[in-house]
Amino acid sequence: MESNTGPASSDRVRIVRSNTKLIEGVLQEVLEEAQNERAARETALSAALKRTLKTDEAVVPPLPDIPNESLPTPNVSDTVAVMETPEKPAPIALDKDEIRTFKKPPESAWGKFKGLVGRGIETAREEFKHTTLGRFAASVERAGVRFLDRRFIDKAEGKFAKANERATKTEGRFTRHDAAVKGLGAEIQKLDETVKNFEARGLLDEKVRAKAARERASLEGRVEKETRKREAARVALQAHNTSKLRWENAIKDRARGATSRVENRVAPHRERAAELSAQCEQFRDEIKAHGEVRDSVAQELAKIERELENARFSFERSPLKKEITAIRAELKRADEAIMTRTAELGKFEGRLGKTTGQVEKWSMLTGDLERAASKERSYHIAPKAPTVTPSYEHRAIDTTSTPAGAEHIPTPAPESGETIKDVTPEEYVTIWNALYGSDEPIDLRIFDKIKGASFQFQAVEKMIANELLNRAPLEARTNKGAELVERAKAVRRLIASL
Amino acid sequence: MNDTTTDQAKAAADASKRVADLLATIRSANDAFEKISRARMDAIGAGLKTLEADMTGTEDELAAYGRDMSSDLEQETAQLDTESESIERGEAADMAL
pLDDT at A113 over 50: no
One domain, residues A52 and A189: no
Q: Give Cα A174 to chain centroid, integer Å.
A: 41
Indicate the residue among A374, A408, A439 that finishes a domain: A374
One domain, residues A73 and A171: no
One domain, residues A90 and A163: no
One domain, residues A229 and A315: yes
Considering only the beta carbons, identify the residue of B16, B33, B94 that sits closest to A320.
B16
Beta carbons of A144 and B34 less than 8 Å apart: no
One domain, residues A102 and A199: no
What is the spatial distance between Cα B71 and Cα A473, in angstroms, rounded to a whole number? 25
- Give A437's DSSP letter: T
One domain, residues A235 and A157: yes
Handedness of CA A206, A207, A211, A214 (dihedral sign): positive
Q: What are the pLDDT digits (tens) for A181-204? A: 999 999 999 999 998 898 888 887
- Give A395's DSSP letter: -
One domain, residues A77 and A179: no
Residue B75 carries which side chain, given as an amino acid letter?
Q
Q: Is A235 on the interface with B (CB under 8 A)?
A: yes
Instruction: Give the pLDDT confidence score for residue A490 in this predicted structure.
Output: 78
**What ipTM was reported for this prediction?**
0.81
Cβ within 8 Å of B, A 60-99? none
The minimum CA-CA distance between A299 and chain B, rounded to whole Å, is 10
Residue A429 lies in a domain: yes
Please list, residue by residue across A279-306, b when 16 or more beta carbons sit within 10 angstroms of its beta carbon and e when fewer do: bbeebeebbeebbebbeebbebbeebee
Residue A202 lies in a domain: yes
pLDDT at A60 over 70: no
One domain, residues A131 and A168: no
The minimum CA-CA distance between A339 and chain B, rounded to whole Å, is 12
Considering only the beta carbons, identify the residue of A273, A327, A341 that sits closest to B26.
A327
Q: What are the pLDDT digits (tens) for A354-392? A: 999 988 888 887 787 788 778 777 777 655 554 333 333
Considering only the beta carbons, identify the residue of B12, B52, B66 that sits closest to A355.
B52
Residue A383 lies in a domain: no
Q: What are the pLDDT digits (tens) for A275-289? A: 999 999 999 999 999
Arithmetic mean of pLDDT, B39-61: 93
The three-point CA angle A377-A379-A384 to 5° equals 160
Please tell me which residue of chain B has the smallest CA distance to A264. Answer: B58
pLDDT band at A329 (very low <50, low <70, confident <90, very high): very high
Best-predicted range by mean pLDDT (A133-142, A240-249, A319-328): A319-328
One domain, residues A149 and A74: no
The percentage of residues in chain A with a pLDDT greater than 90, rounded to a whole number, is 20
Instruction: Give the pLDDT confidence score for residue A383 in this predicted structure.
Output: 57
pLDDT at A494 over 60: yes
Residue A2 lies in a domain: no
Q: Is A135 on the interface with B (CB under 8 A)?
A: no
Average pLDDT, chain A: 70
Number of domains in chain A: 3
The whole domain housing A102 covers 7-140
Residue A122 CB-half CA count within 13 A: 6
All residues of chain A having their beta carbon less than 8 Å from the beta carbon of residue B25 are: 293, 297
Handedness of CA A449, A452, A454, A460 (dihedral sign): positive
One domain, residues A37 and A112: yes
Q: Cα-flanking dihedrals φ and ψ of residue A28, to 5°?
A: -60, -45
Indicate the residue among A374, A400, A430 that finishes a domain: A374
The three-point CA angle A238-A240-A244 to 5° equals 115
Beta carbons of B62 and A145 less than 8 Å apart: yes
Residue A199 lies in a domain: yes
Q: What are the pLDDT digits (tens) for A398-430? A: 333 343 334 455 666 666 666 666 677 777 777
Residue A205 lies in a domain: yes
One domain, residues A433 and A491: yes
Instruction: Give the pLDDT confidence score for residue A352 in this predicted structure.
Output: 95
Is the separation of the CB atoms in A118 and A28 below 8 Å?
no
Residue A310 lies in a domain: yes
Arithmetic mean of pLDDT, A222-234: 88
Q: How far is CA A82 from CA A15, A69, A76, A79, A94, in A?
A: 8, 22, 10, 5, 18
Please tell me which residue of chain A has the smallest CA distance to B24. Answer: A327
Q: What are the pLDDT digits (tens) for A164-175? A: 888 888 888 889
Indicate the residue among A347, A374, A401 that finishes a domain: A374
Q: List the single range of A105-114, A268-277, A327-336, B17-26 with lowest mean pLDDT.
A: A105-114
- Give B3's DSSP letter: H
Considering only the beta carbons, identify the residue of B22, B52, B76 that sits closest to A351.
B52
- Residue A90 CB partners (closer than 8 Å, separation 6+): A11, A12, A30, A82
Instruction: Give the pLDDT confidence score for residue A44 in this predicted structure.
Output: 63
Model-level pTM greater than 0.95?
A: no
Is the separation of the CB atoms in A488 and A433 below 8 Å?
no
Beta carbons of B94 and A233 less than 8 Å apart: yes
All residues of chain B having their beta carbon less than 8 Å from the beta carbon of residue A143 are: 59, 63
Residue A264 lies in a domain: yes
3-class DSSP state of A409 = coil
What is the spatial distance between Cα A223 and Cα A383, in angstroms, rounded to a whole number? 18
One domain, residues A403 and A304: no
pLDDT band at A64 (very low <50, low <70, confident <90, very high): very low
